[in-house]
Structure 1
Amino acid sequence: MGRIPTASELTKRGVVLEVLTCPMCNEYEEGYDHVLVDCSYARRVLEGVSRWCNIQLGPLHTVKDVLDSISQWGVCKKRRKIILAIFYGTLWSLWKSRNEKVFKKIRLPPDKVNDIIKSVVYLWVKNRGKIDKLNWASWSHCPLFY
Structure 2
Amino acid sequence: MGRIATVDALSQRNCFSGDSMCVLCEDFDESADHLLCGCCVASNVWSMVSRWCRVSPIFVFSVRDFLGLSDFSGLGELAKEAFHEILIVGAWCIWRARNNKRFNNSLKTAHDIFLDIRSLGFHLYRNRSRNKAISWANWCSFSLM
TM-score computed with the length of structure 2 as normaliser = 0.93
Q: Distance in 1 between matches of 2:139 and 2:10?
A: 38
Q: Distance in 1 between matches of 2:130 and 2:68?
A: 25
Amino acid across the alignment from 1:97: A
Q: Distance in 2 between matches of 1:120 and 1:94?
A: 13
Q: Distance in 2 between matches of 1:30 and 1:124?
A: 28
Matches within 5 A, 1:55-134: 55-57=55-57, 59-74=59-74, 76-134=76-134
Tell me how large the CA RMSD over aligned residues is: 1.5
> Counterpart in 2 of 1:51?
51
**Number of paired residues?**
145
| 1:79 Cα deviation from its structure 2 partner | 1.9
Amino acid across the alignment from 2:39: C
- Say whether the 8 Å CA contact 1:57–1:69 is kept in structure 2: no
Q: Distance in 2 between matches of 1:57 and 1:44?
A: 10
The alpha-carbon distance between structure 1 residues 138 and 78, as it changes in their structure 2 partners (threshold 3 A), is closer
**Unpaired stretches in structure 1, ≥5 consecutive residues:** none
Q: Distance in 1 between matches of 2:53 and 2:75?
A: 15
Amino acid across the alignment from 1:23: V
Amino acid across the alignment from 2:91: L
Q: Secondary structure at the match of 1:106?
A: coil
The alpha-carbon distance between structure 1 residues 73 and 47, as it changes in their structure 2 partners (threshold 3 A), is same
Amino acid across the alignment from 1:130: R
Amino acid across the alignment from 1:110: A
Q: Identical aligned pairs, as a percentage?
A: 27
Q: Distance in 1 between matches of 2:125 and 2:6?
A: 29
TM-score computed with the length of structure 1 as normaliser = 0.92
Amino acid across the alignment from 1:90: G
| 1:59 Cα deviation from its structure 2 partner | 2.8
The alpha-carbon distance between structure 1 residues 114 and 68, as it changes in their structure 2 partners (threshold 3 A), is same
